[in-house]
Amino acid sequence: MREITFMEATLEALSEEMARDETIFVVGQGSGARGGNFNTTTGLYDIYGPERLRDVPITERGFVGMCTGAAMTGTRPVVDFMFLDFILDAMGEMVNQMAKMQYMSSGRLKMPILLRGCIGVGGAAATHHSGNYYSMFAHLPGFKVVVPTTAYDAKGLFKTALRSDDPVLFLEHKSLINGRGEVPEEEYLIPFGQASICRRGKDLTVVALTTMVGKTLTVCEKLAQEGISVEVIDPRTVAPLDVDTILESVQRTGRLLVIDETFAICGIGAEIAAQVVDRGFDDLDAPVRRLNGLHVPTPYSAPLEASVVPQLPDIEQAIRDLLAE
Amino acid sequence: MDPIPANLSKDTLLALYRQMLTIRRCEEQLARCYQSGLIPGACHTYVGEEAIATGVCAHLNNDDAVFSTHRGHGHALAKGVTPRQVTAELFGKATGCSQGRGGSMHLFAPEVGMMGTSGIVGPCILQATGAGYSFKLLKTDRIGVAFFGDGAVSNGAFHEGINLAANWDLPTLFVCENNLYATEVAFADATGNPEVANRAAAYNLPGVAIDGNDVIAVYETAGAAIERARSGGGPTLIECKTYRTRPHAEGMRDGGYRSAEEIQSWKDRDPITTLATRLVDEERASAADLAAIDAEIVELVADAERFAHDSPWPETATVADHVFSAGDASHA
């Protein structure tokens, strides 16, 4: 099968959906003729024109609020933040307006809007270009939150997002967007709320998010040589969250470790742990453990930056520790 | 004041009178209902400002989109939400326009283009801009309208929304109801520029200041701006100078931050009695015409309260409905 990058997969999905649905338009800094800072819209301006590929001034609250109104009145906006950290300037519009509009209108308004941007620690991007934020959005009613890892998942989930009538945050880890993977030519969609089992195993379940999926799979290869069998699950969406797949896995392995690059406190790992303990307590042979990044802003300097996120030895140690319990 | 333009028909003039009086009587009734405990939440009335919603919405169709504020009962009524639906919503009943989910500050009736009142100052400006974006992209002649107070003018949403709308020539109308106070903070204390309309120059769109208590002026000015927006001419900022003669919200004080003389001076310029006097004095309608409308509205408003009172409460089993769209394709 052909291989393309994560970002090429989302570009393909966007172009296909824009051809299919004339109400889709994109706003973003550089999303017009320039094709996006991360090539999110390369070539689309020439096909779909300036009204559907709209360069915007640096006015996040403004264009998010504008797109909220647009989504209420018959079009389907895609907001490209470049770096998701910039979304924080628009939080009032998102939390008080976008996320609540369908409820407040008793379902008579729809809110078909896709918000995308790069997340995550890496590349000495420093603290204003390295945030994650998915746990924060998952906490709030009204948002769907997608955190794909592979090119295949990125395309299928992106297409689903563009057909959803709900606000969807499509969060792209900057260390993953250039990763290549197999993507079929023919159309497919991946529903939200379906986790992917990336590796089958019987001794322990790891739920990993974004960059931690690949790192964990690397560690699992090594551990397999010692006969340690680890199951790895990528939730792919954190809202909705597929707890059933995790529970089914824990039923077989008896042990759960959640590995997440970002903060532990009030994070998605805490939610997964709570739900598994609540619904699967009798299946657990050991406490649920979490391995997270440090609860600090993201530093710039390479050794400092590396020290705030779990690395391969940390993951290996966490797995060994939990197996020993 | 200039004479009422000859081209305005008696039907149009009486429709303006009827709409303003409907808002006034509804608001007075809602205030009484608040005082007697029938309305549990906030109640910001539009008393004194009726000419603005009336004069603007008279030009709008059901598929034009209005985005409003916390002081939005008048906009909802003028856009075609019924007194029954508004009153029932404030009572928290299932028959309210938001089915009891919203109350005064969240009135929704998208079927008539009422896209919501909001408890947050500013977002309506951005959302009306977005409606303009949709309507332009969809190649329609529909327009988005934002109603907001002077309190929104110092907010970033005013700058960001108007800048975008002007930049892209969107079919959007920005209607500032400058009633001189944001809650109880005087506009004069909030900004170094006591005018709103002249700010339009900063964004290169037309800005016009008018007497917001003169429904004819509002009707004429809004009509021209709406025609311009519909025909691709872009947005307009209209500053309507007005005053709310009741407190910021029911249960709050009348004065303290404003003088009794000031309040009285604006009551003397009441938009409804002003129009009534002009209609009769200029022989555009008779006192009997107006009296017939007065009687009709007494019954309309009484009916709304009876309806709200007799309506059922929402079913609590439905409380989690509509967080997400029903039957959405993305659900697993």
Does A104 sit within 8 Å of B116, measured CB to CB? yes
ipTM: 0.96
Q: Which CATH class is domain B10-308?
A: alpha beta
Are A3-182 and A196-324 in the same CATH fold?
yes
Edge-to-edge strand ranges of the sheet holding A53-55: A53-55, A24-28, A76-83, A113-119, A167-173, A144-146, A237-239
SS3 of A72-136: the string is CCCCEEEEEEEEHHHHHHHHHHHHHHHCCHHHHCCCCCCCCEEEEEEECCCCCCCCCCCCCCHHH
The two three-digit tokens of residue B44, written as one number: 């910001």
The CA–CA distances, whole Å, from B187 to B47, B126, B150, B155, B195 equal: 19, 21, 7, 12, 9
| Nearest to A260, CA basis, from A252, A250, A251, A271 | A271
The two three-digit tokens of residue A319, written as one number: 């797995």
Q: What is the DSSP string of A215-267?
A: HHHHHHHHHHTTT--EEEEE-SEEETB-HHHHHHHHHHHS-EEEEESS--TTS
| DSSP β-bridge partners for residue A249 | none
Give the model's confidence band at B328: pLDDT under 50 very low, under 70 low, under 90 confident, else very high: low
Give the model's confidence band at B326: pLDDT under 50 very low, under 70 low, under 90 confident, else very high: confident
The torsion of the CA quartet B5, B10, B13, B19, rounded to 10 degrees, works out to -170
The residue-averaged pLDDT of A93-97 equals 98
Residue ranges of the domains in chain B? 10-308
Give dist(CA B40, CA A241) in Å, integer: 37
The CA–CA distances, whole Å, from A1 to A4, A151, A177, A186, A303 equal: 10, 13, 19, 11, 38
Q: What is the DSSP string of B232-278?
A: T---EEEEEE----S-SSTTS-S-SSS-HHHHHHHHTT-HHHHHHHH
Does A193 sit within 8 Å of B329, measured CB to CB? no
Does A97 sit within 8 Å of B325, measured CB to CB? no
Best residue in A25, A53, A73 for a mutation probing chain B (most B CBs within 10 Å) = A73
Question: Which positions of A are annotated as active-site residues?
Answer: 60, 129
Enclosing H/E stretch for A207 = strand A204-208
Q: Chain B contact for A49, CB < 8 A? A: no
Share of chain B above pLDDT 90, in %: 96
Give the model's confidence band at B1: pLDDT under 50 very low, under 70 low, under 90 confident, else very high: confident
pLDDT at A169: 98
Nearest chain B alpha carbon to A97? B123
pLDDT (tens digit, 9 = 90+) per residue, B244-286? 999 999 999 988 999 999 999 999 999 999 999 999 999 999 9
Cα distance from A261 to chain B (closest Cα, Å)?
26
pLDDT (tens digit, 9 = 90+) per residue, B145-158? 999 999 999 999 99
pLDDT (tens digit, 9 = 90+) per residue, A21-69? 999 999 999 999 999 989 999 999 999 999 999 999 999 999 999 999 9
The CA–CA distances, whole Å, from B81 to B88, B223, B305 equal: 11, 21, 15
Give dist(CA A90, CA A62) in Å, integer: 8
The CA–CA distances, whole Å, from A224 to A199, A216, B299 equal: 11, 12, 81
Give dist(CA A228, CA A322) in Å, integer: 12
The C-alpha angle with vertex A146 and arms to A143 and A152, in degrees rounded to 5, equals 150
Cα distance from A135 to chain B (closest Cα, Å)?
18
Q: Are B88 and B307 in contact (CB under 8 A)?
A: yes
Instruction: Please list the helix, strand and coil fractions of chain B in percent, rounded to the nearest 5, in that order.
Output: 45, 10, 45
Cα distance from B329 to chain A (closest Cα, Å)?
6
**284-303 of A, contacting B, C-beta below 8 A:** none
The residue to which tokens 């094709």 are assigned: A35
Residue ranges of the domains in chain A? 3-182, 196-324
The two three-digit tokens of residue B319, written as one number: 């409380």
pLDDT (tens digit, 9 = 90+) per residue, B301-316? 999 999 999 999 999 9
**What CATH number belongs to A3-182?**
3.40.50.970
Give dist(CA A30, CA A2) in Å, integer: 29
pLDDT (tens digit, 9 = 90+) per residue, A290-301? 999 999 999 999
Share of chain B above pLDDT 70, in %: 98
Q: Which residue from B106, B160, B328 is facing A62, i.e. has the nearest CB?
A: B160
pLDDT (tens digit, 9 = 90+) per residue, B2-53? 899 999 999 999 999 999 999 999 999 999 999 999 999 999 999 999 999 9
**What CATH number belongs to A196-324?**
3.40.50.920
The CA–CA distances, whole Å, from B75 to A191, A243, B58, B145, B167 equal: 40, 45, 11, 10, 27
| Cβ count within 10 A of residue A193 | 19
The CA–CA distances, whole Å, from A262 to A8, A194, A283, B223 equal: 26, 22, 27, 54
Share of chain A above pLDDT 90, in %: 99
Is residue A39 left, alpha or beta, with left meaning phi > 0 and alpha meaning psi from -120 to 50?
A: left
User: What's chain A's Rg over C-alpha atoms?
Assistant: 20
Mean pLDDT score across all residues of chain B: 96
Cα distance from A219 to chain B (closest Cα, Å)?
31
Q: Which residue from A63, A72, A193 is facing B332, i.e. has the nearest CB?
A: A193
Q: With a cut of 50, say whether residue B332 has pLDDT above it.
A: no
Best residue in B81, B141, B330 for a mutation probing chain A (most A CBs within 10 Å) = B330
Give the model's confidence band at B329: pLDDT under 50 very low, under 70 low, under 90 confident, else very high: low
Q: Are A20 and A27 in contact (CB under 8 A)?
A: no
Give dist(CA B225, CA B52) in Å, integer: 14
Give the model's confidence band at B330: pLDDT under 50 very low, under 70 low, under 90 confident, else very high: low
Give the model's confidence band at A197: pLDDT under 50 very low, under 70 low, under 90 confident, else very high: very high
The residue to which tokens 């009736």 are assigned: B109
For residue A226, the one-letter residue type is E
Give dist(CA A219, CA A231) in Å, integer: 12
Nearest chain A alpha carbon to B97? A105
The residue-averaged pLDDT of B81-87 equals 98
pLDDT at A9: 98
| Cβ count within 10 A of residue B53 | 31
Best residue in B324, B325, B331 for a mutation probing chain A (most A CBs within 10 Å) = B324
pLDDT (tens digit, 9 = 90+) per residue, A107-165? 999 999 999 999 999 999 999 999 999 999 999 999 999 999 999 999 999 999 999 99
| Nearest to A266, CA basis, from A169, A146, A134, A142 | A134
Nearest chain A alpha carbon to B157? A62
Q: Which residue from B129, B159, B330 is facing A164, i.e. has the nearest CB?
A: B330
The residue to which tokens 């020439």 are assigned: A46
Q: Chain B contact for A254, CB < 8 A? A: no
